[in-house]
Amino acid sequence: GNSVTQMEGPVTLSEEAFLTINCTYTATGYPSLFWYVQYPGEGLQLLLKATKADDKGSNKGFEATYRKETTSFHLEKGSVQVSDSAVYFCALSGGSGNTPLVFGKGTRLSVIA
Amino acid sequence: GAVVSQHPSWVICKSGTSVKIECRSLDFQATTMFWYRQFPKQSLMLMATSNEGSKATYEQGVEKDKFLINHASLTLSTLTVTSAHPEDSSFYICSAREDGARQGFPGANVLTFGAGSRLTVL
Identify residue A40 by its one-letter amino acid code: P
Higher-confidence position of B1 and A43 = A43
d(CA A38, CA A44): 5
Note the pLDDT tens digit of each residue in A2-59.
889 998 889 999 999 999 999 999 998 888 899 999 998 788 889 999 988 999 999 9
For residue A32, the chain B residues in CB contact (below 8 A) are: 108-109
Considering CB atoms only, which of B43, B49, B95 is closest to A98? Answer: B49
Region at B83 (left for phi over 0; alpha for psi -120 to 50; beta for the rest): left
- Show Cβ contacts of residue B7 under 8 Å, excluding neighbours closer than 6 positions: B21, B22, B24, B117
Closest CA to A95 of B30, B47, B104, B33: B104
Note the pLDDT tens digit of each residue in A95-110.
555 677 889 989 999 9
Q: Do A44 and B42 touch (CB under 8 A)?
A: no
For residue B34, the chain A residues in CB contact (below 8 A) are: 100-101
